[in-house]
Amino acid sequence: MAKFCLTMDYISKGKLSVAGVLLKFVNNELLPGTDVEPKKFWDGFDKYVHELSPINKRLLETRENLQKKIDDWHKNKGGKDIDIKEYSNFLEKIGYLKKEGEDFQIETKNVDSEISKIAGPQLVVPVMNARYSLNAANARWGSLYDALYGTDVISESDGAERGKKYNYIRGEKVIKYAREILDKNVPLQKSSWKDINEIPKVENNQLNLKLKNPKQFIGYNKKSNNLSSLLFVNNNLHIDVLFNPNQTRGGLKDKAGIYDVILESAITSIMDHEDSVAAVDAEDKVHGYRNWLGLMKGDLKYEGKKNTGNKPFTFTRKLNPDREYISRDGKKIRLHGRALMFNRNVGHLMTNSSILLQDKSEVPEGIMDAFMTTAAAIHDFKNKKNSRTNSFYIVKPKMHGPDEVAFTNLIFEKVEEVLNLKKNTIKIGIMDEERRTTVNLKECIRAVKNRVVFINTGFLDRTGDEMHTSMEAGPMIKKGDMKSSKWLVAYENNNVDVGLACGFSGIAQIGKGMWAAPDKMADMMSQKVNHPKSGANCAWVPSPTAATLHALHYHQIDVFSKQKELKEKVSAKLFDILTIPIADRPNWSVEEITKELENNAQGILGYVVRWIDQGVGCSKVPDINNVGLMEDRATLRISSQHIANWLHHGICDKEQVLEAMKKMANIVDKQNIRDPDLKGYALYKRMSDNYETSVAFKAACELVFNGKQQPSGYTEPILHRNRLLKKN
């Protein structure tokens, strides 16, 4: 990347060379109002980044050394069956598997209730997209009517099709479904919400509806002395039933005057600087930092355009205010109007040309993120638009084992010192998505036991690491078979088991991964209920609509009660986690191999072409069956590593893969050429017009053909280099 750095406008700050655009942002926008002077910030950053960078480098070298030893061990086995006990002893001997210490409980203090007391959906969005970020923050409250009407949760059978005009039949189905939800979660004593024929009344702060549990009624609102809102609570989640006898949905009046049912939905959100963004230089980083700063100050806005019929209009999106009600004892209630926001920083691997160190090497991007995003959070400590406990929540991805988690703790300590913050102000979320973290999870948590607030699992990155770590063990099973493999089931269970054993319940989040198909909400409703059933008090969703629907699962399941039950069950076994998903008899037909290659190739190309050519880090990409799936670098990692593994073990050859890549490039071109979701980005450029000159196509091929050599199988180095090439 260095050749691109030389063209940038750098300004000296001590031993640092800082890109002018970043320096200006920090001094003129980020720091004013924080009580941190620019000189103190840059002097502190200069001192500690030069102390921390060599440690960062040594940790990455340890990764490489351990991987080489594991590769050599598998090579020496010569394809023989793996004895798990022998394998476990080997991993312990080389320091990959750490000796587990005595039991302990986490001691994190000053945690917001959205993390400690409320179980619910977690929405993850790219911070570089202001509209998505605002939508995610505002997704704390969502319309159940809109979520039902606009998705396949409501069947289109019997005349209930979705269309441009309001469908009364569909509307009736929505109302019926919503009434059933109210009956399940706010049941009446002797009747049903379906039987209510008039607007309920609240007189002297008392509700005339007879609830099975009267304590569920906690507040209301009135307009012109008429009831406009009833507020209920179930499993710590709020339900706001809106009333207006004059308001209609497409001309359809409700007999009870219910206009909508608003659910508390995305309780927390993660504003992502990592897997879902394409940030490769100072300009990109400042874009993301500026949006995050706006969220922390509370003044981020997005202005857009919409077309309604033939009448285009502009709109402004900003953070929602808090919600106010009158309690049943006549006092005012104020509920937070926005999701509690985390910030996902970059991991330890990547560097960025935004800042050059004394030796002219690039700054470790994760260290820079920690300083910049925390400085922005200081603004929130004054206005409390996000945290009410003066805590800042950083999700840290791609850490390999306890030593790397301890290093993150050290980074946070230095940031707190420079920014005059109390120790453990910065809280950490551990992404349990690398095998070395999974098998040492208890010790990873111990390293940050005073600041940890989150652990989660993720199928895609974790599988990508599983395949890369065990690349030499043999050919991997098909990608679709991974979800039922022994290691994956044990991994998912282990994350919950360890979290509960370490005292997470009532303090911190135990999370589950993303539902990747935003148009398949009916399937989500039937499957994702398993996340709260497993004891997870948060799980990732791809959209505000998905958050509203997934919230219904947390009304159905009392997760904190479930966690108490699960503490008594038998924990997942380490040997199961270490069971490598290689194929016993990889005698697949040519047709099966071709289908698997094409499926992987299509996913790789569909994502890479947007990343490289248009700077889109996360988007809904049509799969081989034209089903839109949310794709980010985790999906790219698993697909590229899978083909790399099959190439390495002779399941396919380079010619077969290249043929599949070219065939799928044609399909991706057809799928994307008129994609309306990409308005505002560079025009789509076809890969199949000239494979030799398409930077995106060549980058996709490089990810596959050089996949075995990539550090931990990560895709960032190749993506960043080619995106910079495209930009310059």
Contact 632, 344 (CB under 8 A): no
Instruction: Give the C-alpha separation, 173 to 528, whole Å.
Output: 23
What confidence tens digit (pLDDT) does each residue in 633-677 have? 999 999 999 999 999 999 999 999 999 999 999 999 998 876 655
Distances (CA, A) of 602 to 477, 677, 709, 718, 722: 19, 19, 22, 18, 19
| Of 632, 633, 637, 686, catalytic | 632
Specify the pairing of strand 628-631 against strand 619-622: antiparallel
Q: How confident is the model at residue 603 (pLDDT cuts 50, 70, 90)?
A: very high
**Which carries the bigger pLDDT value, residue 681 or residue 108?**
108
Share of the chain above pLDDT 70, in %: 96
DSSP string over 348-373: SS-EEEEEE-TTSPEEEHHHHHHHHH
Contact 302, 132 (CB under 8 A): no
Q: How far is CA 237 from the centre of its chain?
A: 21
Which of 70-79, 549-558, 677-686 is predicted least confidently?
677-686
Q: What is the average per-residue pLDDT within 82-108? A: 97
Element (DSSP H or E) covering residue 446: helix 441-446
Q: How confident is the model at residue 2 (pLDDT cuts 50, 70, 90)?
A: very low
The second-level CATH assignment, the architecture, of 141-264 is: Beta Complex (2.170)
- pLDDT value of residue 32: 98
pLDDT at 55 > cutoff 70 = yes
Domain residue ranges of the chain, discontinuous segments joined by +: 2-139+268-577, 141-264, 590-727
Specify the pairing of strand 340-344 against strand 392-396: parallel
- pLDDT value of residue 5: 44
Q: How confident is the model at residue 4 (pLDDT cuts 50, 70, 90)?
A: very low
Contact 31, 377 (CB under 8 A): no
Print burial letters for 478-508: b (CB count within 10 Å at least 16), e (below 16). bbeebeebebbebbbbbbbbbbbbbbbbebb
pLDDT at 680 > cutoff 70 = no
Environment class of 659 (CB within 10 Å of its CB; exposed 0-12, middle 13-18, buried 19+): middle
Q: How confident is the model at residue 308 (pLDDT cuts 50, 70, 90)?
A: low
pTM of the full predicted structure?
0.96
- pLDDT value of residue 80: 85
Query: Annotated catalytic, 63?
Result: no
Instruction: Give the C-alpha separation, 308 to 320, whole Å.
Output: 23
E strands in 561-634? 619-622, 628-631
DSSP string over 227-281: EEEEEEEETTEEEEEEE-TT--BTTBPPTT-EEEEEEE--SEEEEESSTT----S
Specify the pairing of strand 392-396 against strand 362-364: unpaired
What confidence tens digit (pLDDT) does each residue in 338-359 have? 999 999 999 999 999 999 999 9
Question: Mean pLDDT, the chain, as a whole number?
Answer: 94
pLDDT at 3 > cutoff 70 = no
pLDDT at 1 > cutoff 80 = no
- pLDDT value of residue 681: 62
SS3 state of residue 14: coil
Tokens at 722, concatenated: 């080619």
**Hey, what CATH topology would domain 590-727 get?**
Malate Synthase G; Chain: A; Domain 4 (1.20.1220)
Q: What is the average per-residue pLDDT within 141-153? A: 97
Beta bridge partners of 334: 324
Q: What is the average per-residue pLDDT within 592-610? A: 95
SS3 state of residue 402: helix
- pLDDT value of residue 249: 58
**Hey, what CATH topology would domain 2-139+268-577 get?**
TIM Barrel (3.20.20)
Tokens at 69, concatenated: 């030893």
User: Which of the 8 DSSP states describes residue 637?
Assistant: H
- pLDDT value of residue 640: 98
Query: Annotated catalytic, 344?
Result: yes
| Of 63, 290, 338, 344, catalytic | 344
Rg (CA), the chain: 26
